[in-house]
C-alpha cells in the first residue's frame, strides 16, 4: 500500500492507540522480528503529555560541530521546504545528526518548529539535539531527540530525501511513523488499515487481565483462567 493511498480515517484510528499497543499489533502479523522497527531509548519524547503523533517521514541529515561549506543562515532552506511539501501529509521530520557524538547543536528550536508546523509537519525525530523546549511545547509541536542543547552551533542540513538512521531505526522517505511518550515506531504501510482492529483486541485483552489483577477476589486460579482466555 502506498502512503498516498492511506485515508485520513486510518491515520486517525492509529493515532488513538499508544505506540506500545501498535507495536504489539504489528507483532501479530509476523512480518518482522519483535526486536526491530522502533527507535531505541537514546531517542526520548520531550513532551510526554501530548497525544500520539502519526505521519509520513521527511528525512534529512545534519551536522552541527563544523560550519557548512556555503551559506550562513541555517533557517533559509527553500529547497528543503519544497521537498517537504512533496511528501504526503501529515509529516514527521526525521533528522540524522551525523556528528560523532551527535547533539552538539540543535537544528530544531522555536523558529524551525513553527516553520515545520506551517509546512504540515506534526513532529521531529532526531538522534541529535533540540532546544527552546518551553516555546515549542506552547506551539503543540512534538519533539523526540537524543538530547537538548542551548545552542544551534553550526547546525545545518547537508543532505535530505534519503534513508537515515535514528536510534538504530532506519527510516526512508514516506515511511509511516507513530510516536508518543513511549517512543517512536515505524509502521508497515501495508498493514496500516488492519492494525487498528488488532490493536483494539489487544487493548481489550490487556483490560481483562488488569481487572483480574486489581480485583479484591484476585487469586492465582482467576489469573490462570484469565490468561488462558486471553491466549485462546
Distance, CA of 82 to CA of 104 (rounded, Å): 27
The reported pLDDT for the residue numbered 117 is 97
The reported pLDDT for the residue numbered 128 is 97
Distance, CA of 39 to CA of 136 (rounded, Å): 22
The reported pLDDT for the residue numbered 73 is 57
Question: Residue 54 — φ and ψ, nearest 5°?
Answer: -135, 135
The reported pLDDT for the residue numbered 1 is 38
Positions in the chain short of pLDDT 70: 1-5, 69-75, 232
Q: Tens digits of per-residue pLDDT, 40-80? A: 999 999 999 999 999 999 999 999 998 876 655 566 788 99
Q: Is the dihedral of CA 109, 110, 114, 117 positive or negative?
A: positive
Question: Residue 120 — φ and ψ, nearest 5°?
Answer: 85, 20
Q: Is the dihedral of CA 6, 10, 16, 20 positive or negative?
A: negative
- Full set of structural domains in the chain with CATH: 3-187 (3.50.30.40), 196-231 (no CATH)
With beta carbons less than 8 A apart as the criterion, state whether 172 and 59 touch: yes
The reported pLDDT for the residue numbered 202 is 92
Amino acid at each position: 500500500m502506498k502512503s498516498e493511498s492511506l485515508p485520513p480515517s486510518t491515520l486517525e484510528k492509529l493515532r488513538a492507540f499508544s505506540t506500545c499497543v501498535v507495536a504489539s499489533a504489528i507483532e501479530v502479523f509476523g512480518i518482522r522480528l519483535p526486536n526491530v522497527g522502533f527507535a531505541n531509548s537514546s531517542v526520548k519524547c520531550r513532551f510526554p503529555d501530548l497525544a500520539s503523533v502519526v505521519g509520513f517521514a521527511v528525512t534529512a541529515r545534519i551536522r552541527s560541530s563544523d560550519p557548512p561549506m556555503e551559506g550562513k543562515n541555517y533557517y533559509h532552506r527553500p529547497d528543503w521546504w519544497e521537498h517537504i511539501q512533496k511528501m504526503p501529509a501529515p509529516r514527521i521530520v526525521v533528522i540524522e545528526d551525523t556528528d560523532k557524538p551527535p547533539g552538539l547543536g540543535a537544528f530544531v528550536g522555536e523558529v524551525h518548529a513553527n516553520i515545520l508546523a506551517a509546512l504540515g509537519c506534526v513532529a521531529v525525530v532526531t538522534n541529535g539535539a533540540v532546544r527552546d523546549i518551553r516555546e515549542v511545547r506552547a506551539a503543540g509541536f512534538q519533539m523526540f531527540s537524543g538530547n537538548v542543547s542551548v545552542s544551534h552551533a553550526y547546525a545545518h542540513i547537508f543532505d535530505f530525501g534519503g534513508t537515515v538512521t535514528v536510534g538504530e531505526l532506519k527510516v526512508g522517505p514516506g515511511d509511516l511513523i507513530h510516536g508518543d511518550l513511549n517512543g517512536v515506531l515505524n509502521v508497515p504501510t501495508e498493514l496500516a488499515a488492519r492494525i487498528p482492529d488488532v490493536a483494539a483486541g489487544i487493548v481489550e485483552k490487556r483490560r481483562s487481565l488488569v481487572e483480574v489483577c486489581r480485583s479484591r477476589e484476585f487469586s492465582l486460579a482467576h489469573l490462570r483462567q484469565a490468561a488462558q482466555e486471553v491466549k485462546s
